[in-house]
Structure 1
Amino acid sequence: MAYPDVMAHPTIKARKRNSFWRGIKRNWGLISLALPGLIFVIVFQYFPMFGLVLAFKDFNFGKGIWGSDWVGLNNFKFFFTSDAALQVTRNTLLLNLSFIILTNLVSIAFALMLFELSRKAVKLYQTTLFFPYFLSWVVVSYVTYALLNPQLGVINHLFKQLGFAEINWYMESKYWPFILSLAFLWKNIGYSTLIFYTGLMGIDKSYYEAAAIDGASKWQQVRNISIPLLTPLITLISVLQIGKIFYSDFGMFYFLTADSGALYATTDVIDTYVYRALRVSGDIGMATAIGLYQSLVGFVLVLTVNFIVRKINKENAIF
């Protein structure tokens, strides 16, 4: 016997529509606050997605986006068959992975230390740590050049005083993974520390009071209270960072290295490669194809990591 679909009844549908509009009217104040941000996201994040069609076209300014010739996967082929494809992909993955691991570990350690300080001391150290985050990579590149200049740099001058051989830093690629990691850590440590410190501030103080009454040391409180309760936040931050692992901080990789060709073996990433390709050939279709490739891989990585986290601990997964 077939049963009628109750939810398809016209009266039920009308009630649902009325309930929807009543909800909007009731929450109009909150909706109006969210509206500017929503419009910004739609205009600058969703509308440009129509331009992804350029990844499959030989873009011609005269013909426009829709009138340009369709070339299928040729733009992707240009990148994946180039000699630099494997190199820039490897550099992008390994360098960004080292940034994620190093920055998160040091930030968590700093947040735990700040959590034990007085509020006045925390303000001083937070300001000191956070200041580099606001500096432009252009400014940082000049400071770096003053330190690493082959003839007049502070580091080489110090090496000379100590009897060590001077190093032509901008011609030796093997040192730059460490230099870039330290520069990224120095610039982003304040921002990441603030996030984890805020997470620690949200932990109920009664846990620490009970642990102190039971005679737990500071290290035991960190290991059994702080880290476990901070794990969901650490997981969330890590998953979001892994989702953007194929995107690099262009300013750092371009300005800090002075775009030295001798360093490409360890510092050339997808973003700098695309920029140089655009500057030389002006191939917008190829650049769009690589951007789409980065987005798809990031999306797959987020789903994969979230799936793994969900298998380990369902509560720590994003969705």
Structure 2
Amino acid sequence: MLIEFIIIISTILAVVLNRVSARTGAFKSHLAMFSMLAPGIIYLLIFNYLPMPGILLAFKRYRVFTRDVLENFFRSEWVALENFRFLFSSPDALMITRNTVLYNITFMILGLIASVSLAIIISEIPNRRLAKIYQTTYFLPYFLSWMIVAYLGFALFNYDLGVLNNILKKLGMEPIDWYMEPKYWPFIFVIANLWKYTGNGSIVYIATIAGFDTEIYEAAAIDGANKWQQTMYLTVPMLVPMMTLLTILAVGRMFNADLGMFLSLPMGSGPLRSVSNVIDLYVFNSLRGGSNMGFPAAAALYQSIVGFILILTTNTIVRKINPDNALF
């Protein structure tokens, strides 16, 4: 069924593009670009736009009556804003919101600095083969699932056999029960996030730097600018538009957390709940303990609306400062 749908959508898309571009005569000359665009549009239609009616679940108390999902949906009662009240009236509402926002702000700022710095460093390596090796090495952690990362962390933080505690013992210090000490984990989450995503985040900046005109740097070198000055007064300013664009998009995800990281890394430790419980994890645990899909739908709708407002607000501010760097 999914394959048939993809074929139908692809056919419709091809017809529409053909008719639109027939007037401009650009279809044949841009056929490769249209072909690369089609899979992305099909993906968005299937996984982003077709599920849109599911938003209505946020206003229902979903119950399972039969195996037919649609029948269950229509037979479930309307509860208006009850699911939203349950979310905001929770005693953990303030904590999970605080954790989610503060972590995302930290990830966004440090991730931006780390990704740009790594991209600049790799771009300055004269040996292209060596630069590719470094780039691939930093990019590999992105492909590891958080469950694998969690077990790597367990090898580090285990009280009896962990690497860190063995080092502490050899230094004559007392071992630390890492999974019982919440004060360390905000730093652990930040380090894990940077380790996993910095390489992936740097790819866009590496590609952007590769497109810069080398004559600008040659002229700066003739004028006596060293590498540091070239970086600060040429590379970074030319990266600002891309940095601004990605920051605007990151702000839109301010209320969305990386469920895999916060679910896996603490290894289910109760004492770490105060620093690991975020909106997505709270919703996941609530859904796991019940069958009302209306609550996670309400939480997802809340996150989407807030993210949309944040993007509009941030883009408006950027447009007033520098219209050329705005998203729209």
Structure-2-length-normalised TM-score: 0.88
1:215-272 CA distance string (max 9 Å, x none): 1111111111101100000011111111112111111111111122211111111111
- Structure 2 unaligned regions, length at least 5: 1-18, 66-70
Shift of 1:282: 2.1
Q: Which residue of 1 aligns with 2:237?
A: 228
CA positional deviation for 1:151: 1.3
Q: Tell me the matched-pair count.
A: 302
Q: Report the counterpart of residue 163 of structure 1 in structure 2.
A: 172
From the superposition, tell whether residues 32 and 179 of structure 1 become closer, same or farther in structure 2 (CA, over 3 Å): closer
Instruction: Tell me, yes or no, if the aligned pair for 2:63 and 2:291 is still in contact at 8 Å.
Output: no
Q: How much does 1:20 deviate? A: 4.5
Instruction: Provide the rounded CA distance (Å) in 1 between the counterparts of 2:262 and 2:315.
Output: 29
1: CA distance between counterparts of 2:324 and 2:21? 33
Give 1:27's aligned amino acid.
F
2:254 to 237, 245, 261: 245
Q: Does 1:263 align with 2:272?
A: yes
Query: For 1:1-319, what aligned pairs fall within 5 Å after superposition?
Result: 20=20, 22-23=22-23, 27=27, 29=31, 31=34, 33-62=36-65, 63-118=71-126, 119-319=128-328
Counterpart-to-counterpart distance in 2, 1:31 and 1:66:
39
- C-alpha separation in 2, matches of 1:41 and 1:275: 24
> Structure 1: any 5+ residue segments left out of the alignment?
1-18
| Distance in 2 (alpha carbons) for counterparts of 1:108 and 1:179 | 22
In 1, the alpha carbon distance for the partners of 2:135 and 2:225 equals: 28
Deviations 1:265-308 (A, max 9, x none): 11111111111101112221011000000111111111111111
* Paired residues of 2:83 and 2:294 also in contact (CA < 8 A): yes
Q: 1:103 to 1:31 in 2, by over 3 A?
A: closer
Aligned-pair RMSD on alpha carbons?
Answer: 1.8
Q: Deviations over 1:87-108 (max 9, x none)?
A: 0111011111111111110111
User: 1:39 Cα shift?
Assistant: 2.4
Distance 2:22 2:124 in 1: 49
Amino acid of the residue matched to residue 78 of structure 1? F
Q: Provide the TM-score with structure 1 as the length reference.
A: 0.90
Q: Secondary structure at the match of 1:176?
A: helix
Contact in 1 for aligned 2:61/2:79 (Cα 8 Å) = yes
SS in 2 for 1:187: helix
The answer as to whether partners of 2:266 and 2:272 remain within 8 angstroms in 1 is: yes
How many Å apart are 1:25 and its aligned residue? 8.2
- Which residue pairs with 2:7 in the alignment? none
> What letter corresponds to residue 98 of structure 2 in structure 1?
R
Amino acid at match of 1:181: V
Task: Give the secondary structure class of the aligned counterpart of 1:211.
Answer: helix
- Name the stretch that deviates more: 247-256 or 75-84: 247-256
* Counterpart amino acid of residue 218 in structure 2: E
After superposition, give the CA deviation of every residue in 1:143-176 in whole Å (9 maximum; x if it has no partner).
1001000111110111111122211111111111
Q: Which amino acid aligns with 1:286?
A: F
Instruction: Give SS of 1:281's match.
Output: coil
- Which residue identity does 1:34 align to in structure 2? L
Q: Which amino acid aligns with 2:109?
A: I
State the Cα deviation string for residues 31-79 of structure 1 (Å, max 9, x = none). Answer: 4553343222112111101010010011122252123211100000001
- Quick one: distance in 1 between partners of 2:245 and 2:107? 16
Which amino acid letter does the alignment assign opposite residue 198 of structure 1?
A: A
Cα distance 1:315–1:169, how it changes in 2: closer, same or farther (>3 A)? same
8 A contact 2:57–2:293 mirrored in 1: yes
